[in-house]
Structure 1
Amino acid sequence: MTPPSVAALARSYRAERVLTGLVGLLALAAGALALVVGQGWLGSFRALRPVLDPIAVERLTAWQTTARVGAVVLGVVLLVLGVLIALRALRPERHPDLALDDEPGRGLVVTSGAIAAAIAADAERVDGVSRARATVVGEVSAPALRLSVWLHEGTRLKQVWRELDESVLRRARESLGVDALPTAVRVELGSGERQRVR
């Protein structure tokens, strides 16, 4: 099982992808079956029959109540499943705040936005970094960090990475009070200044 802090680095859409893949496979299988039957590969008699098979229509007519109850139950199940999937896909991402003092009446909480702004400002002080953006995600007990840095043109990436790892991320771990802080770092290299043609 993936730890929550690692899973928070890149929000997982695995369930949505699996469901979309299954629906796509079912649609593909239905289309392939319709093509096979329509081309007459299962016999010319089947290809000439209407889509609503008269035998199936007769059975549904004979079992109207059962067919209606089954259709209603299937519709309700699909509706509930669709609502659950939509709620899961739209749930907000967690941004943990840091509680420095839990005493009633004297509580002191640092918001995740303030933590992220401090980490970004610390990263911007590294030589070669033009700007930085940080986001703290996950749970209070197991936070994770997303850090995006933009570098000036000609900056040595190896040197910037060493300084980020040894100073910025170390201070972030110490301030959050955790031994490990899973971090996803996105680096944008600066492009040269555009020259105007005269």
Structure 2
Amino acid sequence: MSNAVTARRAQGRSYGAERTLTCLIGVVAILAGAAALVVGMGWLGRFRAQRPVLDPLAVGWLHDHALYARIGAVVIGVLLLVLGLWWLVRSLSPERHPDLRLDETPGAELTVTSGALAGAVSSDTEQIDGVVRARVRSVGTKAEPALRISLWLAEGADVRRVWEDLETHVLTRARESLGVTTLPTAIRLELDTAGPTRVR
């Protein structure tokens, strides 16, 4: 299960929480609209359909229990404020690129920064024949690292050869250097095309 989660992190940042919350809000809005439509069409009785939106019974209950209504409104408002702030911070926070601790022995700690790892893999990748440029990002967690690699290939490059060299040389070397058996990697390939020619 953890390997699958790490692989998804390599492919891209997860927005599952934001999507789930948005879907829940949408479902509540749809249900509220459907309920209003059913009542307004008179399917629950014409008397109920002709009553005002602010039901006099509900308004009377709120007037009789003003203190409890105010407390409930304040609690709901605070909860919505906290939820909104959490949603905003989570959506705007940058993606984490954790450093990797290869040795945590006191006095002999060994840490590889995310920038160093990305730079080393990027340098090795750019040595592959047919690769014009490479951009590497270290993602995942300290315990389960992953890579996200974007490759720009020269026109006419052998994609199969590039893929094999990337696996047999670059990624194998990275796994051996980090001392891990698996290193989930998401790879994006882009083909550089010749620039537009001017017609004379």
Query: So what's the TM-score if we normalise by structure 1?
Result: 0.88
> 2:100 touches 2:145 (CA, 8 Å); kept in 1?
no
What is the aligned-residue RMSD (CA, Å)?
2.2
Greater displacement, 100-109 / 138-147: 100-109
Q: Which amino acid aligns with 1:8?
A: R
C-alpha displacement at 1:107, in angstroms?
A: 5.6
What runs of 5+ residues in structure 2 fail to find an aligned partner? none
Task: Classify 1:64/1:189 alpha carbon distance in 2 versus 1 (closer, same or farther; 3 Å).
Answer: same
Q: Which amino acid aligns with 1:53?
A: D
Matched with 1:78 is 80
Matched with 1:5 is 6
Identity between Structure 1 and Structure 2 (%): 57
> 2:102 touches 2:178 (CA, 8 Å); kept in 1?
no
Matched with 1:56 is 58
C-alpha displacement at 1:104, in angstroms?
A: 6.6
Task: Classify 1:57/1:101 alpha carbon distance in 2 versus 1 (closer, same or farther; 3 Å).
Answer: closer
Alignment equivalent of 1:133, drawn from 111, 135, 138: 135
Map Cα deviations across residues 88-136 of structure 1 (whole Å, 9 max, x no partner): 3344433232456767777664421121012111111111111110001
C-alpha displacement at 1:196, in angstroms?
A: 0.9
Matched with 2:69 is 67
Task: Classify 1:57/1:103 alpha carbon distance in 2 versus 1 (closer, same or farther; 3 Å).
Answer: closer
Alignment equivalent of 2:150, drawn from 123, 148, 160: 148
Matched with 1:171 is 173
What runs of 5+ residues in structure 1 fail to find an aligned partner? none
CA distance in 2, matches of 1:102, 1:26: 49
Greater displacement, 15-24 / 97-106: 97-106
Task: Classify 1:56/1:103 alpha carbon distance in 2 versus 1 (closer, same or farther; 3 Å).
Answer: closer
> 2:7 touches 2:186 (CA, 8 Å); kept in 1?
no
Number of equivalenced pairs: 198
C-alpha displacement at 1:62, in angstroms?
A: 1.2
CA distance in 2, matches of 1:41, 1:100: 68
Greater displacement, 164-173 / 37-46: 37-46
CA distance in 2, matches of 1:44, 1:191: 68
Map Cα deviations across residues 36-86 of structure 1 (whole Å, 9 max, x no partner): 222333333222221111111111111111211111122222222333333
> 2:147 touches 2:185 (CA, 8 Å); kept in 1?
yes
Task: Classify 1:28/1:101 alpha carbon distance in 2 versus 1 (closer, same or farther; 3 Å).
Answer: closer
C-alpha displacement at 1:8, in angstroms?
A: 2.6
Query: So what's the TM-score if we normalise by structure 2?
Result: 0.87
SS across alignment from 1:95 = coil
C-alpha displacement at 1:152, in angstroms?
A: 1.1
Task: Classify 1:15/1:103 alpha carbon distance in 2 versus 1 (closer, same or farther; 3 Å).
Answer: closer
Greater displacement, 92-101 / 187-196: 92-101
C-alpha displacement at 1:7, in angstroms?
A: 4.2
